[in-house]
Structure 1
Amino acid sequence: MTYLADKKISIVIPSHNEEKNISYLIEQLRETLTPTGYAYELIFVDDGSRDNTLNELKINAELHTNVFYVELSRNFGKDYALKAGIAMAHGDAVITMDADLQHPPQLILKMLKLWENGYDIVYTYREGENPHGKGYQKVTSKLFYKGLNMLSDIKMENGTADFRLIDEKVVKQLKLIDEYEIFFRGIIKWAGYRQIGIPYVPSKRHTGEASYSFPKLVKLAVGSIVAFSARPLYIVSLIGLFFSTLAILYIPYVLVSYFLGYAVSGWASIIATIAFFGGLQLLVMSVIGVYVGKIFMQSKHRPHYIIRSSNVVIVNNDFIRV
């Protein structure tokens, strides 16, 4: 395999409570990338960790001149941490990956080869089920991607990961996106360019536990669907039209019953009907409310993240240690 040594690779790694994984991950990446001849930099984004992740990053930044850290003022979420890291990357290609070592560093070599062969984006997707995932995570993952593919305008493989390589020209376009609740896995698919996906088998976490809870997964699913399609609005509109039509067809029955003297029986059916349509109205209003809420938050133009500290300063598109 032949590499071009005059190219630089930026690796962006969001980190949340990963104190015991940082040093080992850096060692694995150095063993993988140093023989390639590429210049490379490791950009860690501390996303509001409550352990000693930041201290580990500072120590490694002192030991290695190509290790940089960005400390966010609080936990803004993984996608915003990715955005912060990508904003500071200026390599010929940017690789994003998790800090828990479930994304095997050795797969980067295959990504680089495909990139050198002309692909602008090389993304990864999980091959089969995650052998190390919890039961509810396996179920929710399948439901998430099926729902996303059905209700949104993008199509993604089951288990698509945040482990990917992005060419510099794509990165420049990503930096221009100013979107509330950005979902990078969807944005990458939406962006187009020449893409290829490669399967991988997740490794076991080196240490620690996954921080994504079930409520966070539900929020991610809803936010991802409404971010890429207005199809849910069309669906609830069709539901409303369907039941409105049924209500119109119910009028002849009421008139015939009235003129023929049939008594309207019971109140239970009336209460059930009111409760059903009341619930349906609340459902429709909640879907509309999600979209209105996103418009409201987008209109505030708040920064997507706040940097508390960093050893990075960008001067003339170069990294300067501070």
Structure 2
Amino acid sequence: MERKSVTPITLALVIPCFNEEDVLPETIKRLTLILDELVKYKNIHSDSKIIFVDDGSRDKTWGIIEEANIFNKYVQGLKLARNAGHQNALLAGLNYAKDFSDCVISIDADLQDDLAVIPKFIEEFNNGNDIVYGVRRGRSTDTFFKRTTAQGFYKLMNSMGVNIIYNHADYRLMSKRVLEHLGEFKEVNLFLRGLIPLIGYKSTEVYYDRNERFAGESKYPLKKMLAFAFDGITSFSVTPIRLISAIGFLMFLFSFFMAIYILINKFLGHTSSGWSSLMISIWFIGGIQLVALGFIGEYIGKIYREVKARPKYFIEKSTLNLPDQRNKEIKELVGTTN
């Protein structure tokens, strides 16, 4: 069912940032051109915004956002008091944007996601889709290792019963009512790629080619990627615990047959002391026990964090409530001093 509206929709772009001073000026420039074009053809309302969320950056990221807020009518900013993580920073922007927008598009600041498909997102929203997933056509720009591990992660998640979109990260459009339902999830361990499909509503996919990073360095090294993947698995599936139970049962069966084998050899007089086999057995069983305890500990740790229900982030500064009159005064002052 298509959405018919007399007035253009109000769009918000939410962009989490962490130490993005090298790429941010170009990101602002390109996104501004996109919004200007959409406003010109009345696809979106002129009150649409670009919301940058500074996730505790240590460089000039926040200064760039503040300056852009003065001269660019679209740019708004939130500065978190500390690095809360990509998912929490994204959630902070989404929570603000839902109060004034008809739909929100989340996107990373590195310009790897293709901005040219944003009009297609809006078109699909107007066609009645509450969620539009940006999906990569391929991974030709990735290294062999990253491509292999990423594809393996999606397949592993799906095999464990977690409903996530293959080759989709956090480039997506969500309607206002989807964002309102997202706010009903109170869990601390956020994995938005898994949460969004749980909400339901009509959805579709828009395919695009991912670009090379425009500038700066990736904020997701191998260590963070592994931690993110492990968070996703343990937040949405108890399959690892069940696998441990299955391994334990198989080990019990194996030990039962080994006991029969040893007793038969004892009665036949073929027994001999075997240091090697004893050591291998001890190390093997001990390793399984430690892995099992690690998995169980991970789930207990998540329960511990959820029970505490600590705030996901704190906002230190914001340009969101800076009155238009104050913006005007700042612009006049800057113009005078120049």
Taking structure 1 as the reference length, what is the TM-score of the superposition? Answer: 0.91
- Counterpart amino acid of residue 115 in structure 2: P
Structure 1 portions without partners, runs of 5+: none
1:232-286 deviation digits (Å, cap 9, x = unpaired): 1111111111111121222323333334433233211111111111111111111
Change (3 A) 1:280 1:321: farther
CA RMSD of aligned residues (A): 2.2
The verdict on how the C-alpha distance between 1:319 and 1:46 changes in structure 2, with shifts beyond 3 A counting, is farther
CA distance in structure 2 between the partners assigned to 1:184 and 1:321 by the alignment:
36
1:70 paired to 2:70: no
Question: Contact 2:164–2:193 at 8 Å: present in 1 too?
Answer: no
Partner of 1:100: 110
Verify the 8 A CA contact 1:41 1:68 in the aligned structure 2.
Answer: yes
Q: 1:4 deviation in Å? A: 5.5
Secondary structure at the aligned position of 1:68 is classed as strand
Partner Cα separation in structure 2 for residue 27 and residue 87 of structure 1: 25
Partner of 1:240: 248
Deviation at 1:290, TM superposition (A): 1.1
1:10 and 2:12 matched: yes
Cα offset for 1:135?
4.2
Does the CA contact (< 8 Å) of 2:134 and 2:205 recur in 1?
yes
Pairwise CA distance, 1:109 = 0.2
- Asked whether the equivalents of residues 86 and 175 of structure 1 are also in contact (C-alpha less than 8 Å), the reply is no
Instruction: Tell me which of 83, 87, 102 is aligned to 2:91.
Output: 83
Match of 1:177 among 185, 203, 217: 185
**Which residue is equivalent to 1:145?**
154
Q: How many residues align?
A: 316
**Residue 127 (structure 1) aligns with:** 137
Q: For residues 278-297 of structure 1, what are the structure 2 equivalents within 5 Å?
A: 278-297=286-305
Aligned residue for 1:115?
Answer: 125
**Which amino acid counterpart does residue 126 of structure 1 have in structure 2?**
R
Q: Which deviations, in whole Å up to 9, do the C-alpha atoms of 1:18-62 show, x marking residues without a partner?
A: 123223222222222223321211111001112111000000111
1:189, CA displacement in angstroms? 2.2
The CA distance in 1 between the partners of 2:63 and 2:203, in whole Å, is: 37
- Give the whole-Å Cα distance in 2 for the aligned partners of 1:122 and 1:4: 22
Which one of the candidate residues 193, 198, 203 is aligned to 1:190?
A: 198
Once the two structures are TM-superposed, the CA of residue 320 in structure 1 deviates from its matched residue by: 11
Report if aligned partners of 2:106, 2:171 keep a CA contact under 8 Å in 1.
yes
Contact 1:311 1:321 (8 Å CA) reproduced: no
C-alpha spacing 1:319/1:210, structure 2 compared with 1 (3 Å): farther
> Hey, what's the Cα distance between the residues in 2 that align with 1:304 and 1:31?
33
* Consecutive unaligned residues in structure 2, runs of 5 or more: 328-338
For 1:143, the aligned partner's letter is: G
Give the 5 Å matches for 1:199-278.
199-278=207-286
User: 1:124, 1:164 within 8 Å by CA — same for their partners in 2?
Assistant: yes
For residue 52 of structure 1, what is the aligned residue in structure 2?
60
Deviations 1:109-152 (A, max 9, x none): 00000110011100111111141x34432232122212222224
Question: What is the alpha-carbon distance in structure 1 between the residues aligned to residue 274 and residue 298 of structure 2?
Answer: 38
User: What's the offset of the Cα at 1:74?
Assistant: 1.8
Instruction: Name the SS for the 2:115 alignment partner.
Output: coil
Cα 1:214–1:54, aligned 2, differ >3 Å: closer, same or farther? same
Give distance in 1, aligned partners of 2:72 and 2:196.
Answer: 31
The answer to whether the Cα contact below 8 Å between 1:80 and 1:182 also exists between their aligned partners in 2 is yes
Residues 289-308 of structure 1 aligned to structure 2 (within 5 Å) = 289-308=297-316
